[in-house]
Structure formats: C-alpha cells, structure tokens
Amino acid sequence: MPSLKDLKNRIESVKSTRKITKAMQMVAAAKLRRAQEAAEEARPYAERFNAVMAGLAASVGGADSAPKLLSGTGSDQVHLLVVMTAERGLCGGFNANIAKLARSKAEELTAAGKTVKVLTVGKKGRDAIKRDLGDNFVGHVDLTEVKRVGYGDAQGIAKDILGRFDAGEFDVATIFYAKFQNVVTQIPTAQQVIPAAFDSAEDDADGAATLYDYEPSEEEILADLLPRGVATAIFSGLLENGASEQGARMSAMDNATRNAGDMIDRLTIQFNRSRQAVITNELIEIISGAEAL
C-alpha cells in the first residue's frame, strides 16, 4: 500500500498533467476553427473542379488521344500508396486510423499479386506502418517545419508523384487522409488520383446535362488540368487532415482532462482514508498505552 507521501506526490503529478492537457485542448480548439474554415472553403472549389473534369473525361472517353494521367498505363500491377498523416501525436486514433486503412489496402493488393510502394507524408504515418511496410517505402515528405500548409506544399508532393509516374515507377496512385466531419468524427478516406477517377458529372435541376464547347480541344485542356487535379486533391486532403487532426486532438485532450480529474478524485479519497487510518492507529496506541498505565 502506498504511503501518504507517495499518494500526495501522485496527486500533484496528475494535477500537473491535467493542466497540460487542458492547455493543449484550448490550443487545439483555437487552431480547429481556422483549420475547419480552410477545409470547408476548399471543398466547393474541389467539387466544382472535379465536376468539370468529369465532364471533360466523359467527352474524351477511351480515345487514343486521351492523356496518360486519365487513361493510365494500361496496367494496374504497381500501386503507389500516399499515406498522409500528422507530424505530431496526442490526437487520439487520428493517425492510427489512416495507417490502418493504408495497411489494409496494401494487404489486399499484395494478396492479389500486386506490387505496393509507399510514400508517406507526416512522420506519424511513417512510424505507424514502418514495421509492416518498411520494405515498400520509396520516399517521405517532412512537413515538420511547415507552420501552415499551403498550396505550394501540395504542388511539391504532386510534382514528386508525377515525376515518379512519368518515370514508370507505378501504374496507380492512391492518397489516404481523414475527411473532417465534426470534432468527434474523422473519416479515413482513400482517393485514387492516378489514373484520374471522377464521379459522373452532376445533372442540372431540370435533369438535362449542361453542354460546353471547349477551346482548345478537350484532350489539350485535360493534359493541362490533370496535373493540377493531382495537386488539388492532395491539397484538399492536407486541409482535411489539418482540421481532423485538431478536432481529434481537442477531443483526446478533453477526455484526458476528464480522466485526470477522475483520477485525482480517486487518489484524494484514498489519501484521506489512509490518513484517517494512520490517525486512528495513533489514537489506539495512545489509548492502549494510557490504559496500561
């Protein structure tokens, strides 16, 4: 049974930890608002961009002149998994859930006889899957020094991926990130970016699809926009990750603060009982000594 001094030290230690988790919760709450606004403001552009690209891709179809980023290499033997996570921890299961989805995808592809290559963005994702997929790593992007993710960072990652694709290092590229829904819900998401995969173009309210005339040809426009589409998808994923990370950290630190409070209450009760037991024993010894006299 711990002594009174040990219990008192533990109580003080947990109180210090509670102060830290409370401070981290408040910092995450402040950062969450900006990150959430950035992610939500980027969604309309990304959705409209994908809708236009879907219309262009549908008009080009399987033409021989279709850009390689749309038609692919004609094979799906080599897959590049771009795992995007945070640079820091203490955010609940945020990083682990993304890594779990990527690991599951890698196992599925390996079982099907495919070759898997992994490019990580964020050291927490790299650390999470290093043991299982360390031999498949082909690169890592470190964003530790980046205070606020910008489009330039996404362009740098996209340039690396496109360079590898042009060099014939892979056939299919998929990015993994967490889509922000609310503070307690972040959805791990896998999105194929090479070859470009788009949902069917949405129809107008009257049910008729909008027709556009493009100058120059659809193929030339796609050849110019598809690399930007890769960067846009990566940038959207990074923004969603930023909001998801802060939401997960805020929730995790709130739970940690509550748990610390509960532990302090339990330790305080244990301390009071132990102190009362010591006092009772001392009284018994005094009374027994007095009676003996």
Amino acid 87 reads: E
**Active-site residue among 35, 39, 91, 248?**
91
Could you give the CA distance from residue 156 to residue 154 in angstroms, rounded to a whole number? 5
Which residue from 266, 211, 222, 292 is spatially nearest to 63, judged by alpha carbons? 222
Beta strands 185-194; 137-141: pairing state: unpaired
Rounded alpha-carbon distances, angstroms, from residue 143 to 28, 85, 121, 194, 255: 18, 10, 7, 23, 28
Concerning whether 91 is annotated as a catalytic residue, the answer is: yes
E strand map for the chain: 78-84, 115-121, 137-141, 172-182, 185-194
Could you give the CA distance from residue 53 to residue 259 in angstroms, rounded to a whole number? 49
Q: Copy the structure tokens of residue 216.
A: 């120059």
Could you give the CA distance from residue 44 to residue 48 in angstroms, rounded to a whole number? 6
Place of tokens 């030339």: 220
Could you give the CA distance from residue 171 to residue 186 in angstroms, rounded to a whole number? 29
Amino acid 291 reads: E
Which strands sit side by side in the sheet containing 185-194, from one edge to the other? 137-141, 115-121, 78-84, 172-182, 185-194
User: Which positions are annotated as active-site residues?
Assistant: 91
